[in-house]
Amino acid sequence: MSDWILGEFASEEKLLEAARELRAKGHAQVETYSPFPLRGASEAVGLRRSKIPALALFGGLSGATAAYLIQWFTNAVNWPINVGGRPPHSAPVFIPITFETGVLISAFFIFFGLWIILRLPQPYHPVFEVEAFRSASTDALWLSVESTNPSETEQLTNRLRGLGARQVSVVPEEP
């Protein structure tokens, strides 16, 4: 239930300044778009710390624990095998697989966690309606902000121009 207003900016400073300005005016849904990560962009649009490190830690610990328990259960409890007189529960030889599995599961948590947090894959997004927005992934800097009614859309379009946008496009909400 919202229109998307897109503005292209000539420089990083102007873009981030505009994002801060719009957020200060109470527009929560501000996003910047750039071909590479911009320093200070996360703060300008007010993002909180990513949860991915916590996911990675959880994945790593659970993977390592599971791997150790599987080795212990299979080789020491369920079917103990005597290999050269080594004890059935022999911690040092279980370490390589424990470590590797920890890394593997942690990587899965990071990878799938990333796409779940970002809600990707997402084939359609309103910003893709604007042909000029194609430049966002190669060389241009864009900003988007959402509005809930026509008068706000009008007002935001003007404000983006006032903040120094080189071009402004509106993606109207589908009726």
Partner 1 sequence: MQSAASADPLDPLPLIAGRQDSDSLTRIIFTPVWEKTRRGWWFLFLLGLAGTGLLTAAITVTFKEGIGSWGNNMPVAWAFGITDFVWWIGIGHAGTLISAILLLFQQKWRNSINRFAETMTLFAVMCAGMFPVLHLGRPWFAYWLVPYPNRMTIWPQFKSALPWDVVAVSTYFTVSLLFWYVGLVPDFASLRDASYSRLKRIVYGIFALGWRGSSRQWHHHKIAYLLLGGLATPLVVSVHTIVSFDFAISQLPGWHTTLFPPYFVAGAIFSGFAMVLTLIIPARRILGLEEIITLKHIDNMNKVVLATSMMVGYGYLMETFIGWYSADKYELFSVANRMFGPFAYMFWLLILCNVLAPQVFWSRKIRTNVVATWIVSILVNVGMWSERFVIVVVSLHRDFLPSSWAMYKPTWVDFGLLFGTISFFGTLFLLFLRFLPAISATETKELYKELSEEHAEATAA
Question: Contacts with partner 1 in 48-107 (CB under 8 A)?
Answer: 50, 52-53, 56, 60, 70-71, 74-75, 78-79, 81, 83, 86, 90, 93-94, 96-97, 99-101, 103-104, 106-107
SS3 call for 128: helix
34 scored as a contact of partner 1 (CB under 8 A): yes
Residues in Cβ contact with 25 at an 8 Å cutoff, skipping those fewer than 6 apart: 159
Identity of the amino acid at 62: S
DSSP run (H or E) holding 69: helix 52-72
46: which residues sit within 8 A by CB, 6+ positions away?
23, 28, 30
Binding footprint of partner 1 on the chain (CB under 8 A)? 19, 31-38, 41-42, 44-45, 47, 50, 52-53, 56, 60, 70-71, 74-75, 78-79, 81, 83, 86, 90, 93-94, 96-97, 99-101, 103-104, 106-108, 110-111, 113-115, 117-118, 120-125, 127-128, 134-139, 144
